[in-house]
Copies of this chain bind each other. A is one copy, B any other.
C-alpha cells in the first residue's frame, strides 16, 4: 500500500467517530503561523481542538505575501483577532543561504527562481522580523495581539520570544 493510500485508509477510521460540521469561523479567534516541519503536530502541541484556530504553515513559518493574504482573509472574513508565530529549533531554513540555493536551482534547471527562498540564520531575529512584517501590512486590521515563540524539537516545549 502506498503512503498516501495508507493515510486515506487511516482517514476512514477517523471519519467513523467524527462529528461535524463545526462552524467555519475559528472559535478562539486565533491564527497560528508556523513552519511546515513534520515534527510539529500543531494541534497536539498546543492542545488545540478542531475549530479553534486557523493554522498557516510554510517553509520556515516566514511571513510571505501568501501569509499576508491568508491573515487578511482570516481577520477580515473569518473574524480572527490574535496571531501566534511559532518558529522551531533545528529548522531546515538555518542550513542554507538564499544565493546558494537559487544558484543550485539555476545550474540544474536553467531557471533562477524569481522568489526569495527566505533562509535565515537566527531564529529569534526571524520571529521579530515576521512580527514586523505583519505590523506594517496595510490589509491586516488587528496587529496588537501578536506573540512570537520558538518550539524546541528536542523537548517539545515552547519558549516566548521577547
Binding site for B on A (CB under 8 A): 3-4, 6-8, 10-15, 18, 20-22, 24, 26-31, 36-48, 50-59, 64-70, 72-74, 76-78, 82, 84, 89-90, 92-93, 95-96, 101, 104-105, 109-111, 113, 115-118, 138-139, 145, 147, 149, 153-158, 160
Choice from B24, B66, B111, B149 contacting A64 with Cβ under 8 Å: B66
How many copies of this chain sit in the oligomeric assembly?
Answer: 2
Given A4-B84, A46-B10, A59-B74, does the pair A54, B69 have CB atoms closer than 8 Å? no
The residue on B at minimum CB distance from A108 is: B141
Nearest residue (CB) in B for A149 is B8
Most chain-B CB neighbours within 10 Å: which of A18, A22, A37, A66?
A: A66
Residues of B with C-beta under 8 A to A153 = 20-22
Contacts of A13 in B (CB 8 A): 47
Query: When A58-B56, A105-B139, A153-B22 are in contact, do A115 and B14 touch as well, CB less than 8 Å?
Result: no
